[in-house]
Structure 1
Amino acid sequence: MNIKGKTILITGGGSGIGLESAKQFLAEGANVIITGRNSAKLEAAKKLLPSLIIIKSDVENEEDAIALLDKVTSLGGIDILYNNAGVGSPALNLGIANDQILKNAVYEMNVNYFGVIRLNNLFINMLKSRKEAAIINTTSILSLVPALEEPTYAPTKTALSFYTRTLRKNLEILKSNVKVFELLPPVVATEMTANRNDKKITPEQLVKALVSGIKKDQFTIRVGDTKLLYVVSRFFPKLAFNLVNPKKIYASLK
């Protein structure tokens, strides 16, 4: 797929993976619109990358999503929708009664899963009207193997992964020109993972792989440790689970 000249909307674009994506897509000759809930981060991104278009919008909020569609339409529309926004909650042991578990799960599902479906539904006709268009969904290495430290976050990414594959096949059946990419990052060095000591890759490394995959029409883009875990999980599921959940984390859940 050709990126140059395309207009791309990136949710959660004010920092981390989203901001790095904006930077690299601009370098590829794309026009970039970013959204986010934090006005200060959006303004800082605009100062760093003056050619950005910034729109404050919360993917969890239906009214915001509809207003975003109207605003993007007035700007001439988009060719690529990159559903990058995501949230995670602190680890909680699911075996111990805690009202916060449900609150975390609802919050994460609303942003990480339902928010993606909402935007895809709103923008799909616009994308289908383009000669070449795409949807990019960021899932996770944890869509392959569950994680004790992310007991409600990991299922949202698994749901999104299944949805992404189904969406891709549905659009193929309809002979649509909308391509559907799934990006599966390992642990990435962002604000969300700042307190973790795991091996991490940089947002720059991740987005380089994303850009390369898009150009090659590589619809499933596994990066770094995700490639290895994918193979291990298929043939040695118990080993894969232990790699993601070493015994040293068990004490933190008691």
Structure 2
Amino acid sequence: MDLKNKTILITGGGAGIGLEAAKQFLENNANVIITGRNQEKLDAAKKRYPNIIAIKSDVASGEDAISLLRQVKELGGIDILYNNAGVGVMPLNLGIANDKHLENATYEMNINYLGVVRLNNLFLDMLQSRKESAIINTTSILSYVPSLLEPTYSASKTALAFYTKSLREHLRIANSNVKVFELLPPLVATEMTASRNDKKISPEALVKELIAGLKKDRYTIRVGDTKVVYILNRLFPKFAFRLVNPKKADKFLE
């Protein structure tokens, strides 16, 4: 896929992976629109990269999504929709029934899965009107093997992974020109993972792999440890499970 002069919309673009993606897409001569819920972060991103367009929008809000579509149409439309926004909530105690579990799971599912479906549905006609276009959905290493510490987050990313594969095939059958990419990161060093001491990769390294995959039309882009876990889970699923869920994690579940 040729990125030059393409216009890309990046959700959750005010910080972390999304902001790094904005930087690297600009370096590849693309036009970039970012969205996010935090106006201060969007303003800081705009100050850092004046060429981007920043729009405050919450992917979990239907009203915001419709407003975003209208604003993007006024700007001339997009060629690539990069569904990057995502959230994760660590469980308090899985062994005790608690309304907070459902609240957290709903929060994760609304943003990580339903928000993606909503935006894809709204922007699909626009993307199909372009000569070459794409949807990028960010799933996770945990869509292969669930984390005991992040069960509902893992579930939301697994739902997105199945949806992404189905969407790609549906569009192929319909002879659509919209390419559907799945980005599968391992643990990435962002604000969301700042308190964790596990092995992480940088947003810069992740986005480099993403852009390389886009240019080669590699529709499933596994990065870092995701490649290893993918193979191990196919051959030795119990070993892969313990690799993702080491013994030291058990103490958090007691």
User: TM-score, normalised to structure 2's length?
Assistant: 0.99
Partner residue, 2:252? 252
Partner residue, 2:239? 239
What stretches of structure 2 of length at least 5 have no aligned partner?
none
Partner residue, 2:25? 25
Runs of 4+ in 1 over 6 A off after TM superposition: none
Comparing 86-95 with 212-221, greater Cα deviation is found at 86-95
Deviations 1:74-125 (A, max 9, x none): 0000000000000010134433211111001000000000000000000000
Partner residue, 2:174? 174
| Amino acid corresponding to residue 173 of structure 1 in structure 2 | I
How does 1:79-94 map onto structure 2 within 5 Å? 79-94=79-94
Partner residue, 2:72? 72
Partner residue, 1:158? 158
Q: Please state whether the residue corresponding to 1:250 is helix, strand or coil.
A: helix
Deviations 1:139-164 (A, max 9, x none): 00000001011111010000000000
CA separation in 2, counterparts of 1:252 and 1:34?
36
How does 1:94-243 map onto structure 2 within 5 Å? 94-243=94-243
TM-fit CA distance, 1:252: 1.2
CA separation in 2, counterparts of 1:141 and 1:98?
27
Deviations 1:15-47 (A, max 9, x none): 000000000000000000000000000000001
Deviations 1:28-77 (A, max 9, x none): 00000000000000000001100000000000000000000000000000
Determine if contact 1:92/1:151 at 8 Å carries over to the other structure. no
CA separation in 1, counterparts of 2:180 and 2:118?
16
Determine if contact 2:94/2:253 at 8 Å carries over to the other structure. no
CA separation in 2, counterparts of 1:82 and 1:107?
20
CA root-mean-square deviation: 0.6
Identity %: 70
Determine if contact 1:59/1:115 at 8 Å carries over to the other structure. yes
Partner residue, 1:40? 40
CA separation in 1, counterparts of 2:203 and 2:30?
19
Determine if contact 2:133/2:179 at 8 Å carries over to the other structure. yes
What stretches of structure 1 of length at least 5 have no aligned partner?
none
Determine if contact 1:20/1:207 at 8 Å carries over to the other structure. yes
User: TM-score, normalised to structure 1's length?
Assistant: 0.99
CA separation in 2, counterparts of 1:182 and 1:108?
19
CA separation in 2, counterparts of 1:92 and 1:239?
26
Q: Please state whether the residue corresponding to 1:152 is helix, strand or coil.
A: helix
CA separation in 2, counterparts of 1:241 and 1:158?
15
